[in-house]
Amino acid sequence: AHLHTVAHCPPIADGAALIVLGSVAAGTAAGLKPRARIRAVTDASADPVLQLTAGFAAMEAALAETGLSLDDMDRIEFMEAFAATPVKLERDYAPDPAKVNPQGASGGILLATLLAGLERDGGTLGLAVVHGGSGVGSAIIIERI
């Protein structure tokens, strides 16, 4: 038995995933069928003292780049290793809670979970957001094909 605390989470809760990214030509040559396409990928930085705010900037940039909104997303996987980030998302952006983190994870699992959930639920658009120490964050919007 173990206890999750701020001192050692998220490493103890992280899992593993494999994501294969490539061009249509490379996929065709390898005999693979694409499952989704990337609509936007953004990285952002923010105040390193506040740390977990850059993911929001990355999310806003990805949405602006595509002309989409949170309401357009069928599913949102928002890194929840630290409770403050999903609470801030809910408080500041008010997304549909049924679409956010139905099977939360982090890292590569976040994207794999997002795509699998879109396929299972018949959704098309998905957003994944991660935050990191030192004020870095990333966001990706995918479209299931």
Going by pLDDT thresholds of 50, 70 and 90, the confidence category of residue 110 is confident
Whole-prediction pTM? 0.80
Q: Residue 38 has what pLDDT?
A: 94
Rg of the chain, C-alpha, whole Å? 15
Q: Residue 96 has what pLDDT?
A: 93
Cα 38 from Cα 53, distance rounded (Å): 23
Q: Is residue 47 packed enough to be buried (19+ CB in 10 Å), middle (13-18) or exposed (0-12)?
A: exposed
